[in-house]
Amino acid sequence: DARVTQTPRHKVTEMGQEVTMRCQPILGHNTVFWYRQTMMQGLELLAYFRNRAPLDDSGMPKDRFSAEMPDATLATLKIQPSEPRDSAVYFCASGPPPGGQGWDQPQHFGDGTRLSIL
C-alpha cells in the first residue's frame, strides 16, 4: 500500500534553531502539499507544488519558512529561525496528476511531524 512518508515524526528543539522536515510523496504523484495543523486554526495550506514547481506558498511566512522539492522523491520544509508559535503538526500530502478536469487532489497524507519549539 503506497504511503506518504514524513520524517522526523517528532521534533523538539529550542527557539532560534533551524528545523527541517522531509517528505517522500507517493511514486507517480506530481502534486505535493504542505499543511500545518493546530487546534485553533485547523489545517492550513503552507505550500503547494506541481511537477516540483511551487504554485502557491501564500500561506507560508516567507521570512522564516521555505519549501523546496530538490527532486521528485523529496520535498522539504524548513523553518529558520524557529519560534514557539511554530509548534504544530506539519503534514505533507501528495496527489496524482489532475486528469481532465484539472483538479489537483491532496489525496494521501503522511502521518505528520509533531513539532515543539521551546
Partner 1 sequence: QKEVEQDPGPLSVPEGAIVSLNCTYSNSAFQYFMWYRQYSRKGPELLMYTYSSGNKEDGRFTAQVDKSSKYISLFIRDSQPSDSATYLCAMSVVRSPGNQFYFGTGTSLTVIP
User: Within positions 14 to 53, which residues make up the interface with partner 1, using CB under 8 A?
Assistant: 33, 35, 41-45, 48, 50
Q: Which positions from 77 through 106 interact with partner 1, judged by CB under 8 A?
A: 91, 93, 101-106
Minimum Å gap between C-beta 85 and partner 1 is 18
Among 12, 15, 55, 118, binds partner 1 (CB under 8 A): 55
Closest CB 116 distance from partner 1, rounded Å: 14
- Output the CA–CA distances (angstroms, integers) from residue 68 to 40, 74, 78, 79, 104, in the order listed: 27, 9, 9, 12, 19
Q: Indicate which single residue of 75, 110, 115, 117 sits in contact with partner 1 (rule: CB under 8 A).
A: 110
Give 76 or 81: the residue with its C-beta nearer to partner 1: 76
CB of 81 to partner 1, least distance (A): 27
The string of DSSP letters for the chain reads ----EEE-SEEEE-TT--EEEEEEPPTT--EEEEEEEETTTEEEEEEEEETTEEEE-TTS-TTTEEEEEEETTEEEEEESS--GGG-EEEEEEEE---TTTT-----EE---EEEEE-
Residue ranges binding partner 1 (CB under 8 A): 4, 33, 35, 41-45, 48, 50, 55-56, 91, 93, 101-112
